[in-house]
Structure 1
């Protein structure tokens, strides 16, 4: 039997800061265990001071705004230097700085917590999670005795997979690349035909190449044989054709220079042809999932509507190919060879968009495994009950379970999910089920749009411990 955490004997008091669904889930679960919770949506400086006068046993800061989370964490540390803090921060630079300044602050993000649970089913349908432990890669699987962690064995790539990769290096995936390759291929073809004609008529290879290059450059051969009218016609037609091909090639080069160039023609940013994972939605979760899969040696390609978002530019520097388009478009999925992919992960921030992508994927390639990110919209549960769309990972539940564990001082290094239940992973790689309460159990209404503005923290000097 899988152990569950016993109900704590002593009731405690906590402060939860945030107007997100994650904050409401944490608040509802703490109240379910009869703890005292002061839930502040977007507190002002005075509201924060009044809440902390009760000397809470812990403070959870769960916002979507890293700057606001940083400022609240610094303010809490100034008012109560010893109180444990759990903060959700997406940006790793900000998170690392916060850890350095506030040793009592446990800093993580829903993206970091969800990536192992998403990477597992992306690689193997029987894997619940995949994470790195030192130099090893471990996978979590379900068995008769509960959940267990074991060493993940990476499948070796067959030799023909390398040949497929080489064959796909010059496979165009956008209009600019097609123009460039069409023009370049045509010019090379004209050059080869002209050179072959001259060589076959007795010209030395080097002289033939010189004349052919002049024809391709549209300046004509150095000397046109008067006794070979066929070559005169050939060179004339070749020069006219080369003018068109040069225009196509130039247009492709300009588009590649001025465009976002998220997919390369050659090198690591080419789109894989088979055995890859398609990640739709290059936000914080999608970006980190791509990085983790690449680290595990699994080919990956991202899909993002807006090619100018910061994560798409980051993907380019990391050598991750990203196609600009909507993941629910059939043409995009076909161009990404969904039928030959290992899996598709719909991990956008909008649950309904993820559902649309999953439905489109089932229509294009019914046999391809689909992993869906959920947790922000109630309709995801209803749709999952109507259609076996794929493996669903509730990111909000995973993050809520971890925040609860850290607030209650329970050892937890990760979270996994199995059959609608969330399990905490202890340092000794044992797993305990963590019951959660629906966010409707939080009586605090979401804040109004006007209240979402970051309140001004007091202008008083904030002394940061360790700073």
Structure 2
């Protein structure tokens, strides 16, 4: 595919930016590379020191991980030898070691003059402390914080933005380019991970008030345009039908996926599937966790089936005896029922001297009362046992099949479990740690859960993987995920498998091998950091990122931009603004600038209850984009970086 350049397109390098990334895991490394390679920014990465990681302590897995991160960053610096005339993009990142993210450390990192700061430590408290200190040192700093608790993140963002506004009362709000963005890597990756495990489930981006669905379509025929949705987002890899083919790559070869192609390219493609934007709809507010389950235990869970049949049989017998008493005596129906109950509980006087029918009925009723006592005792014992085990984890039902086996209930696994439960998909979880983050959610949702190591014999069999529809291996260890996937494939060769793997080269090799060995089974390898890093980088550049959709091993971003200052968009029609392979405008905000919701990622109920959605998705190709417009566009990582560069050039010329 040939990229078409728009006329009068600015191609100058952007103004240098100083970005600071503080983290202790792979996300910090990915984010630093994203900022340096795509946005040509000067990056400072602050990581825990290696000597702290080497201390012999129990449970220091996070510190050992930080040491590995520091070693990789130092190796990258040693390999990169910039020339005296190198641009800022060619300079390796500056790496700092710091045990604490206090004001002294942030000052040494240059937070007073920095444009943005990303706090991506795996510990929420560490990120919050550093964010408060950074806001005091530089009120104009753009903050991007990684937090798992979404409600806490909303309150923290409001607090920090308010503190920035009060600290700079004399500055123009347009000049004060400051904001606080709270993101979660688990929320970013969960829709894609859940979608890869379920047949027919769309790739989904959910940002409270906005729901985007991207669906894979069958390969189109020659001369036809596969535009069944609002637009075509991508052409899948040409090696899709090749068992030994790689699942795409970040390279731009002919065999890789083509992101944001034009209609002519889609129509000329044969044997290649497409990814189309199929549904755009507002999403309702998330339900509280307690509303995801029933308010009480159902009768079927409280009493066993045999006990229910016994109680029903005794009730029928008592009803028959009451009718017989009414028929053989001249009593009122209510009186006959009352006499029958007295005989049932052995409270009535013996029927001496009364007719034989009355005496026989009394004996039969007494016998029914004797049978009722053990049944009532069994009901009480079963009810007590049910209530005692109501808070315990459920075991997989005996006849369960067609479910998804989810390995790992950490941060990512918990979000994926919640998403699968919302979709109504049966899930069986496997977790080694009984105190894992997702165990309370699994207990509250009554999801069957197996406590044990997936590498132990019999654990996957207990999860009934031989009857499962898909396997999601989301533990934090690549080798554990791979071992579980290989064993599951040996039990069920056609099982759908989705692996969480960190290293791209390792993931590609695993994908190709599994696909060659099992060509009829779906295999996917996903990296949480690969999905999350573009969203964090876009937020650091001041762009509102709604989410990311994986297309094989590449990522397509959905961002919100103001048209003003972007020369490739301002004053151009929708058709002219489309850059194949880079970006495409998919929606325009029709509301007036003063009435717009400030955050499209927030639900309308939280942001502005009275403001209806103002996004127009069915765009006319001849509509001219005005400087006051705000648009939602789909862009590649390079395309979004190029748009930001054009905005920097416009500001520089002014």
Q: Once structures 1 and 2 are overlaid, which stretch shifts more, 389-398 or 67-76?
A: 389-398
What displacement does 1:212 show? 8.8
Secondary structure of the residue that 2:538 maps to in structure 1?
Answer: helix
Match of 2:92 in 1: none
1:380, 1:393 → 2: CA distance? 8
1:122, 1:344 → 2: CA distance? 7
1:86 is aligned, of 130, 133, 144, to 144
Match of 2:382 in 1: 252
Change in CA separation of 1:21 and 1:248 when aligned onto 2, cut-off 3 Å:
farther
1:249, 1:377 → 2: CA distance? 57
**2:134 matches 1:76:** yes
Match of 1:375 in 2: 502
The answer to whether the Cα contact below 8 Å between 1:421 and 1:433 also exists between their aligned partners in 2 is: no
Match of 2:414 in 1: 287
Alignment gaps of 5+ in structure 2: 5-10, 49-97, 162-178, 217-232, 236-257, 260-274, 282-296, 328-332, 352-357, 516-521, 561-631, 640-654
Deviations 1:364-418 (A, max 9, x none): 6555534333338996565444324732221111112222233344563211222
Alignment gaps of 5+ in structure 1: 154-168, 436-467
The answer to whether the Cα contact below 8 Å between 2:19 and 2:115 also exists between their aligned partners in 1 is: yes
Change in CA separation of 1:377 and 1:201 when aligned onto 2, cut-off 3 Å:
farther
The answer to whether the Cα contact below 8 Å between 1:13 and 1:58 also exists between their aligned partners in 2 is: yes
2:427, 2:12 → 1: CA distance? 44
What displacement does 1:64 show? 0.9
Match of 2:537 in 1: 404
Change in CA separation of 1:222 and 1:80 when aligned onto 2, cut-off 3 Å:
farther
1:337, 1:203 → 2: CA distance? 59
The answer to whether the Cα contact below 8 Å between 2:485 and 2:497 also exists between their aligned partners in 1 is: yes
Match of 1:139 in 2: 214
**2:378 matches 1:303:** no
What displacement does 1:70 show? 0.6
1:112 is aligned, of 187, 190, 193, to 187
2:112, 2:636 → 1: CA distance? 31
2:402, 2:342 → 1: CA distance? 42
The answer to whether the Cα contact below 8 Å between 2:142 and 2:542 also exists between their aligned partners in 1 is: no
Paired residues in the alignment total 398
TM-score with structure 2 setting the length: 0.49
The answer to whether the Cα contact below 8 Å between 1:277 and 1:344 also exists between their aligned partners in 2 is: yes
**2:204 matches 1:129:** yes
Secondary structure of the residue that 1:430 maps to in structure 2?
Answer: strand
Deviations 1:102-146 (A, max 9, x none): 232221010111123224334545744354684755325464363
Match of 1:51 in 2: 109
Match of 2:514 in 1: 387
1:134, 1:2 → 2: CA distance? 36
1:416 is aligned, of 549, 566, 572, to 549
What displacement does 1:88 show? 0.8
1:3, 1:397 → 2: CA distance? 25
The answer to whether the Cα contact below 8 Å between 2:531 and 2:550 also exists between their aligned partners in 1 is: yes
1:337, 1:321 → 2: CA distance? 22
Deviations 1:246-285 (A, max 9, x none): 56544432333233536799xxxx9997776554444333
TM-score with structure 1 setting the length: 0.66
RMSD: 4.8
2:213, 2:342 → 1: CA distance? 58
Change in CA separation of 1:249 and 1:357 when aligned onto 2, cut-off 3 Å:
farther
Deviations 1:148-179 (A, max 9, x none): 422179xxxxxxxxxxxxxxx9798xxxx5x9
Deviations 1:192-220 (A, max 9, x none): 575488589888698699869987x8x79
Larger Rg belongs to: 2
**2:635 matches 1:431:** yes
The answer to whether the Cα contact below 8 Å between 2:394 and 2:448 also exists between their aligned partners in 1 is: no
